[in-house]
Amino acid sequence: MAILIIAEHDNASLNDVTAKTVTAAKAFGGDIDILVAGEGAGDVAAAAAKIEGVRKVLHADGAEFKQQMAEVMEALIVPLMSGYDALFAPATTMGKNVTPRIAAKLDVMQLSDVIGIEGQDTFVRPIYAGNAIMTVTSSDPKKVVTVRGTAFEAAGDGGSAAVETVDAPAGPFKSEFVSEDIVESDRPELAGAKTVVSGGRALGSEEEFERLIVPLADKLGAAVGASRAAVDAGYAPNDYQVGQTGKIVAPELYIAVGISGAIQHLAGMKDSKIIVAINKDEEAPIFQVADYGLVADLFNAVPELTDAL
Amino acid sequence: MKVLVPVKRVIDYNVKVRVKSDQSGVDLANVKMSMNPFDEISVEEAVRLKEAGTATEVIAVSVGPQQAQETIRTALAMGADRGILIKTDDSVEPLGVAKLLAKVVEAETPDLVIVGKQAIDDDSNQTGQMLAAMLDWPQGTFASEVKADGGKIHVTREVDGGLQTIALEGPAVVTTDLRLNEPRYASLPNIMKAKKKPIDMKEPSEYGVDVSPRLNVVKVTEPPEREAGEKVEDVAELVTKLKSAGAI
Ligand SMILES: Cc1cc2nc3c(=O)[nH]c(=O)nc-3n(C[C@H](O)[C@H](O)[C@H](O)COP(=O)(O)OP(=O)(O)OC[C@H]3O[C@@H](n4cnc5c(N)ncnc54)[C@H](O)[C@@H]3O)c2cc1C
Ligand SMILES: Nc1ncnc2c1ncn2[C@@H]1O[C@H](COP(=O)(O)O)[C@@H](O)[C@H]1O
């Protein structure tokens, strides 16, 4: 058995979710190779080679790989799959964008957002916003799997896999990159953060979100998250959304401020180790999952908490 | 341009599902069903393209039981022109749905297919991408803005770090994200009008593709229950508790 993993990276550094995907691949069992497709991504390939348990790293470098566009990745990966029994990728927006195309070309049914692997045919995944957990067996000859990062520990370092170069596929491609608006920040990345402070609709404006949530997160060295309502209203950027259709997080500490606790929000954070909820409505459903609930007006409680830390 | 919009009938997003005690699945008897919320966003986008004079025809297609006709009617009431129901009582996986949709595309030759990013029942997030690959079309997934006014289709995508804009040479598949638009409610006159719009009735077997499932459900269980903790009196007590729990 051999497994190919698509690395998650930004061309400069390897995202930790890749090492978590390696752990999932180990549960599947077999030789594990990592594909790094990027532009000037030599450091990423070197970092991937150090993950313990990796056989080799395939490195495809070129301008066409900079954004890991779906069509280019499909053209690169489909031919490689003749040498593999499974394709694994993290369930990031990159993974979700790319892997179903490959599954379709291989004529297999993808296993999305997998949280458990019980041998080479049996997979566990959440459905209905995590309100049900489904165990399925797949009869497909090759498996295409996206992995929920919060469900697996990162594999350690200590490997020294060889790095092989792979050639770029021939174009032309019918999609092209135009621009991006990616905010560089010193904050921990939301999906992998140890502490997350999230704000909801109750913040009322972008200014209040900035004034109250951000300093609390700064004090805690936390990532900032938001409910859908806060994102829709423009209080926080779209990539802050935690939930069923946003990011899945499972930090050591999750602080929900002015968030009611709709099932779609809970789907993204209820595996956090400790949950704190600050809400003025003592009946808010968020309290049903909170370890520590504070019934209070956030406009008083949050500054007080920030000061106390 | 012609726009095809797949719409799925799913459990309403407000309903909390219950797992069946025999672990065979979730209980869908007597629960409210609705159009998948992302598909409402797709229909809205397609209808707006029509209102802007860019789209000439909007076709809603669903794969599902007889009742999925209601879902198509909802799309028609929102402004779609006609519907296609591929009727089946079996559950068809995203791979099978994508194969059927690819056949519909072959027959209807749309310029754009607007698919939801994710069905809120199976949470697969794959049908649109699979369809694009089967057709060898480009894709713009997780769209928060679509500009299709002649020439290339520009799609702004919600990605992990922020937003990304790409240009697609049509025909193309777009999958919709939450910020693309706010779907309208159908007005009563439009609901009445929708009753007269045509829905083509089909069966999967008419399309000559194999849609038999590849996955076998072993069991469906409840997620681990999370116990509610305690209420704290004030910020000071919260800080004390978090410190003793080692959380800060
Ligand atoms: C298809 C679909 C997908 C979705 N995906 C997601 C998702 O991924 N993530 C997500 O979060 N949501 C998602 N939602 C939306 C979800 O259903 C809820 O609408 C949303 O989570 C509500 O956000 P909120 O808790 O901030 O707002 P509200 O529900 O309005 O809650 C605000 C809370 O603030 C409290 N409050 C008000 N004022 C104060 C104050 N001064 N001090 C303290 N507390 C106060 C109120 O008591 C209330 O509990 C989705 C919905 C759909 C249909
Ligand atoms: N049975 C179906 N009928 C029509 N459209 C569907 C069906 N299943 C999935 N889709 C479309 O594919 C999208 C993504 O679904 P999924 O890949 O299952 O998460 C949905 O939002 C629909 O647009």
Which atom of ligand 2 lies nearest, measured to the CA of B125? 19
Query: Residue of the nearest CA to atom 7 in ligand 2?
Result: B8
Which atom of ligand 2 lies nearest, measured to the CA of B61? 4
Q: Which of A100, A140, A173 comes nearest B214 by C-beta?
A: A140
Tokens of B56: 């000439």
C-alpha A240/C-alpha B100 separation (Å) is 35
Give all strands (DSSP E) within A39-161, no chain letters. 56-61, 86-90, 111-114, 116-117, 122-127, 132-138, 143-147
Residue that is written with structure tokens 């769209």 in the block: B143
Whether the complex's predicted ipTM is more than 0.95 is answered with yes
Query: Residue of the nearest CA to atom 41 in ligand 1?
Result: A297
**B11–chain A nearest CA distance, Å:** 9
> Does residue B150 register a pLDDT over 80?
no
Contact B166 A109 (CB under 8 A): no
Q: Which of B121, B127, B241 comes nearest A127 by C-beta?
A: B121
Tokens of A250: 């499972």
Using DSSP's 3-state secondary structure scheme, residue A101 falls into: helix
pLDDT at res. B17:
94
Quote the ligand 2 centre to A232 CA distance (angstroms): 23
Contact between residue A74 and residue A102 where contact means Cβ atoms under 8 Å apart: yes
Q: What is the mean pLDDT of chain B?
A: 97
Cis omega (within 30 of 0) on the bond before A172?
A: yes
Q: Give residue B149's pLDDT band: very low, low, confident or very high (50, 70, 90).
A: confident
Tell me the pLDDT tens digit for each residue of A1-20. Answer: 999 999 999 999 999 999 99
C-alpha B75/C-alpha A309 separation (Å) is 52
Instruction: Return all residues near A178 (Cβ < 8 A) that are at least 6 apart.
Output: B154, B165, B166, B167
Please identify among residues 78-107 of chain B the ones whose CB lies closer than 8 Å to any CB of chain A: 93-95, 98
pLDDT at res. A61:
97
Strands A111-114 and A116-117: unpaired
pLDDT at res. A215:
98
Query: Residue of the nearest CA to atom 30 in ligand 1?
Result: A201
**A205–chain B nearest CA distance, Å:** 17
Tokens of A92: 């990031």
pLDDT at res. B182:
98
Quote the ligand 1 centre to A241 CA distance (angstroms): 11
C-alpha A62/C-alpha A93 separation (Å) is 21
**Interface test mutation site (partner A, options B27, B123, B153, B237, max chain A beta carbons within 10 A):** B123
Which atom of ligand 1 lies nearest, measured to the CA of A278? 43
Tell me the pLDDT tens digit for each residue of A132-184. Answer: 999 999 999 999 999 999 999 999 999 999 999 999 998 899 999 999 999 88
Tell me the pLDDT tens digit for each residue of B199-239. Answer: 999 999 999 999 999 999 999 999 998 988 999 999 999 99
- Does the pTM surpass 0.95? The reply is yes
Contact list in B for residue A182 (CB cut-off 8 A) is 159, 161-164
State the average pLDDT over residues A60-68. Answer: 97
Report angle CA B197, B203, B207 to the nearest 5 degrees.
110
Q: Does B29 touch chain A (CB under 8 A)?
A: no
Q: Give residue B113's pLDDT band: very low, low, confident or very high (50, 70, 90).
A: very high
Tell me the pLDDT tens digit for each residue of B41-87. Answer: 999 999 999 999 999 999 999 999 999 999 999 999 999 999 999 99
Mutational test site, ligand 1, from A201, A255, A276, max ligand atoms within 8 Å of CB: A201
> Does residue B96 register a pLDDT over 80?
yes
- Percentage helix, strand, coil, to 5, in chain A? 35, 30, 35
Q: Does A186 touch chain B (CB under 8 A)?
A: no
Measured from the Cβ of residue A259, the count of other Cβ atoms closer than 10 Å reads 31
Contact A134 B164 (CB under 8 A): no
Contact B167 A113 (CB under 8 A): no
> Does residue B247 register a pLDDT over 90?
yes
Q: Does B242 touch chain A (CB under 8 A)?
A: yes
Cis omega (within 30 of 0) on the bond before B224?
A: no
Q: Give residue B155's pLDDT band: very low, low, confident or very high (50, 70, 90).
A: very high
Contact B163 A129 (CB under 8 A): no
Contact A128 B125 (CB under 8 A): no
What is the enclosing helix (H) or strand (E) of B115?
A: strand B112-116
> Could you give the percent of chain B with pLDDT greater than 90?
96
Q: Does B232 touch chain A (CB under 8 A)?
A: yes
Q: What is the mean pLDDT of chain A?
A: 97
Q: Give residue A126's pLDDT band: very low, low, confident or very high (50, 70, 90).
A: very high
Q: Does B192 touch chain A (CB under 8 A)?
A: no
